[in-house]
Structure 1
Amino acid sequence: MSDPGSKQITILSSDSIEKNLQIDSPTLVDVVDEEDNATAGYVLDPKAYPNHAAGLHLTPDGSKVLIPQPTTNPNDPLLWPSWRKNLVLLVVCICAFPPDYSSAMAAVTMIVQSRQWHVPESQGELFITWGLLPLAISGFYIITFSNYFGRLPTLFFFQCVTIGTAAWEATATSYNSFLGARVVNGLFTGAGQAQALLWIKDMYYFHEHPRIINIAESGIMVSPYIGPQLTAFIVYYVGWRWAYWLYLIIVSIGALFIVLFGEETMYDRRRPPSEQFPRRNRLLRVLGIEQARTIRQRSFWKAVIRPWIALEKIPVLLITTYYMLFFCWSISVNVTISVFLTEYYQFNRQRHRCFFYFFGITGCFLGWLSGHWLHDAFGRWYAARHNGRIAPEARLTIIYIATVLMAVALVIIGLCVQFRWHYMVLAVFCTMEAGATLIATTAVHAYFLDAYPEASGEVGQLGALGRGLGGFMSTYIQLPWLAKQGPARVYGTQAGVVVAAAGIVTFLRFYGQRIRIAQGRVYFKD
């Protein structure tokens, strides 16, 4: 299904660039070919192009060539003003916030619910695990619908169903009813997360990707810490149902923001403006009516098969596996921290435990703050030492920093709980673990987007798959494992897994580009 020989790599060919520059500006999309850049390495410096990139679109300060090159059509999302792009990004972030928020707050409510419905707490854990598994696999059909019907209507209708499932959770009267609500909620709540890279790729240029991914992922990463924090207060004062009524309010705000500020970013830059769908009424685009007028240009079967074709690419499969093995232990810490505080540190009140969850918020803030400069700074350093090229595999180097931070944090967390060190020591290293997770997450998704820009949605949802499967696995095994071997051994083993998983990163750093060239692009025939 892939066709490695379908396209000859001609990046920075002087003859081809000079020839194309004599044609109308829309063909600049072909001049700076994004897929060729992904294969051979991205080149941003105008001096590396013939005639100092004369005729190409540059950043306002003239320091970088824009990749991809925008068209001249004002409806091209790349040409939208920054405020409009950022407003759409805000809508996506608001919709991407609830899934992990909901999964994490179930770790707090399950204790009360298990008592209310007279089931063991081990069964209550299924509220978490069976919410995560559907969330992990939902990306496959979310991206299919997004590519066929449009990003905006898919996000809107999935958000509307999520509102219904949130109301179901808040009003459930039995264990089975609530568990069913969690499963259905997981099937629909993940649209914002699965689509995140798709929206970013549609609106932002290559040199903006790490910074924007860092912002978007910060909102996703902080949600599983805010969830338990707010829920602990709510359960203590007014009961668990109000925690889910608040969740209902949050997802409803997301739907409202879609209606008020959402915009469709699906745009095929290789088609002339006359073949793009009309943009006359934004509410019609929310409902998918305007996008449907060009639906014959798209193949539903092609949209269905794309995520599976992306998964057959070895670098995608490897980095998804790595991310699952790295991220899962962050979830395990978040799920068990409430148990540690109650059993080992005598935090007997929910209102006391909730303050401890500030460690996650602090860690995500520090991770965002460092990542805001770290990823771009390393990209510039790498380009200066590789003839101006930034290979996608260069993004993975930052993961080594995250690996060290995560491994140290997990070891100290295990020792801290095992030997009852002061809870502030626990807080400091839980903060380190949260920050390391965000740094690695940004690096992984930047690699996805740089390596396979033609399949941004597909590889993005595979990142969400790795995160979801890791969370499902860790919540399923964590508490029995701790009971059997104790915190020091468990978290020490998990630190070893994190370090061993970094071997995948090392392999891709040396062989990832060769494998990508051998396998070819994510290519489909209609």
Structure 2
Amino acid sequence: MGDKERSGNEKSEPENLIVNDNEEQRGADDPTNPLNWPTWRKVTVVGIVSAIGFSTPFAADISAPSIPLMMESFNSDNETLAGFIISIYVLGNAVGPVLFAPASEVWGRSVVFHITNVVFLAFTVGCALATSLPSMLVFRFFAGCAGAAPLAVGAGTIADLIPREQRGRYFAVFATGGQLAPLVGPVIGGFLTARIHWRWTFWIVVIIHGIITVVAFLFLRETYAPYIRKRRARLSKDNGNIQMASVPKKDIFLQAFVRPLKVLFGSPMVLFLAIYQAMVWGYRFLMYTTIPQVFGKHYHFGPSTTGLAYLGNGIGATIAMYSITKISDSLVIRYKDRHKCDPKPEIRLLPLLFGGPLLPVGLFWYGWSAQLEVHWIVPILGTFFFGAGIVAASLPSNLYVVDAFTQYAASAMAGSMLLRAVAGGLIPMAGNPMFAAMGVGWGCSLLGFISVLTCVLSIGFVLFGERLREKFPLTL
């Protein structure tokens, strides 16, 4: 580095330093590189991030069985607003990642985790104390904003820590929290609502997330290598081995906060996969908001037993998650061994071909067995395939985004989550009116036929994904 360049760096503010870094440039003997951390430290960080990834979706799922009593407390019988209690949280999920994921690429991952944990706690307390439906909706929205940020930043953390060929299994651990939430959340929520009060569905979230927040403050380490190197450069006078450029603050911030939208709309593959995930995520939350009405009307389930109706969905999702990540990592390792080079990210999309069809199978099974009022276990078995199909359709897409945009995985995930969360917030509002007009059988069949079409389109993702990625390269 020349004297003139060095002099310019010394005059610049620390925040103005950009460290030019990527996965290939990080040396195998660099102790500041989180990829070289010992396994126990990686497991600790992934464990904390996974716990956060459980707590925030748990807050959405645990309240689902309590919505009828919640609406009764607020003196409202509006079915659209009842669905909106779930939807507004998911709409908040669209806003948070777009702000906090790029912030993690400017100020580091750990500070974003800490800030969003505290903000999430504050607004969840607000939900527990809400005295009207409008205040509940406002608190739910801002809790959703803060609660979704760790999901996008967590994907970036996995990319920071884990080599490509092992990323699937660690991503499964990280995603376990999100899959356990729909498994245990509604069950706990149903019993708390029936035995104590619906407000305890929020207080239990405050207790659990409060503990996780304290543990994160104590043990969560920074994992974003460019930020670690920038901090080391700021503290050390010997910057000769670190490539830096002096960039104005406003340019750094603008570049970071535009990045999620740039990835979403600049990469056709990311956009197509985001639209696909948006549909799938909308179906997921539509199911959550309609299960209490469907099982209450057709099977006369009360608040405590309604939570059990969510078990099939959660178990199916959990089994699919571990199966798909194991298959995905095996495909990556096999490609690397055979071709002696890093695999293309499109390898991650292959499980879509056999996993995606589980979604329409689950929808047809659940809808018609509930419509015909077959024994209650039969529609719950249908939700097993539905839950497996949701994961099979979304997890390969997430792994593709992380592998394709490793250094900026958090921003890339945030862009993808934007459409997903908007659909997850709006589609469920149509669930109860649609089932009232069409019946649960034909309502689920309509959704099933649409998902059959997307299964066909997923073949195009696999066949033409590489061509699209190379034709539309992104400079981030």
TM-score (normalised: structure 2): 0.87
1:351 is matched with: 304
Q: How far, CA to CA, are the matches of 2:252 and 2:332 in structure 1?
A: 37
Q: How far, CA to CA, are the matches of 2:393 and 2:41 in structure 1?
A: 28
Q: After superposition, give the CA deviation of every residue in 1:200-252 in whole Å (9 maximum; x if it has no partner).
A: 11111110111112221221133133221111000101111111111111221
Matched, 1:320 2:274: yes
Q: How far, CA to CA, are the matches of 2:25 and 2:400 in structure 1?
A: 16
CA contact (8 A) 2:321 2:395 kept: no
Q: How far, CA to CA, are the matches of 2:187 and 2:431 in structure 1?
A: 21
Q: Tell me the number of residue pairs that the alignment of Structure 1 and Structure 2 aligns.
A: 445
CA contact (8 A) 1:393 1:509 kept: yes
Once the two structures are superposed, the pairs formed by residues 207-356 of structure 1 within 5 Å of their partners are 207-268=165-226, 275=233, 299-311=252-264, 312-347=266-301, 349-356=302-309
1:465 is matched with: 418
Q: How far, CA to CA, are the matches of 1:361 and 1:502 in structure 2?
A: 22
Inter-CA distance 359–497: structure 2 relative to 1 (3 Å threshold):
same
CA contact (8 A) 1:196 1:460 kept: no
Matched, 1:194 2:148: no
CA contact (8 A) 1:379 1:394 kept: yes
Q: After superposition, give the CA deviation of every residue in 1:365-385 in whole Å (9 maximum; x if it has no partner).
A: 312332342222333455677
1:423 is matched with: 376
CA contact (8 A) 2:127 2:136 kept: yes
Aligned match of 1:83 in 40, 65, 75? Answer: 40
CA contact (8 A) 1:319 1:504 kept: no
2:349 is matched with: 396
CA contact (8 A) 2:107 2:227 kept: no
Q: After superposition, give the CA deviation of every residue in 1:340-366 in whole Å (9 maximum; x if it has no partner).
A: 21110122x322223333223322331
**Could you say which structure has the higher helix fraction?**
2
Which amino acid counterpart does residue 180 of structure 1 have in structure 2?
V
- CA RMSD for the aligned pairs? 2.6
Task: Tell me how far 1:503 sits from its aligned partner.
Answer: 3.7
Q: After superposition, give the CA deviation of every residue in 1:403-460 in whole Å (9 maximum; x if it has no partner).
A: 2111111111111111111111112121122122223332111111122224211121
Q: How far, CA to CA, are the matches of 2:78 and 2:224 in structure 1?
A: 45
Residue 453 of structure 1: SS of its match in structure 2?
A: coil
Mean Cα displacement is larger for which, 323-332 or 256-265? 323-332
Which amino acid counterpart does residue 309 of structure 1 have in structure 2?
K
2:72 is matched with: 115
Inter-CA distance 385–481: structure 2 relative to 1 (3 Å threshold):
farther
Inter-CA distance 368–384: structure 2 relative to 1 (3 Å threshold):
same
Q: How far, CA to CA, are the matches of 2:71 and 2:46 in structure 1?
A: 38
Residue 189 of structure 1: SS of its match in structure 2?
A: helix
Q: How far, CA to CA, are the matches of 1:160 and 1:204 in structure 2?
A: 27
Q: How far, CA to CA, are the matches of 1:447 and 1:160 in structure 2?
A: 31
Which consecutive residues of structure 1, in runs of 5 or more, have no partner in the other structure?
Answer: 1-28, 35-66, 279-293
Once the two structures are superposed, the pairs formed by residues 376-387 of structure 1 within 5 Å of their partners are 376-381=329-334
Q: After superposition, give the CA deviation of every residue in 1:240-271 in whole Å (9 maximum; x if it has no partner).
A: 11111111112212211211211111212996
Which amino acid counterpart does residue 159 of structure 2 have in structure 1?
K
1:160 is matched with: 118
1:50 is matched with: none
Q: How far, CA to CA, are the matches of 1:223 and 1:158 in structure 2?
A: 19
Task: Tell me how far 1:295 sits from its aligned partner.
Answer: 11
Which amino acid counterpart does residue 235 of structure 1 have in structure 2?
T
Q: How far, CA to CA, are the matches of 2:234 and 2:409 in structure 1?
A: 20
Which consecutive residues of structure 2, in runs of 5 or more, have no partner in the other structure?
Answer: 1-19, 237-246
Q: How far, CA to CA, are the matches of 1:114 and 1:269 in structure 2?
A: 46
Q: How far, CA to CA, are the matches of 1:202 and 1:472 in structure 2?
A: 30
TM-score (normalised: structure 1): 0.79
Structure 1 residue ranges (4+ consecutive) displaced by more than 3 angstroms after TM superposition: 67-71, 269-274, 294-298, 378-389
CA contact (8 A) 1:98 1:247 kept: yes
1:45 is matched with: none
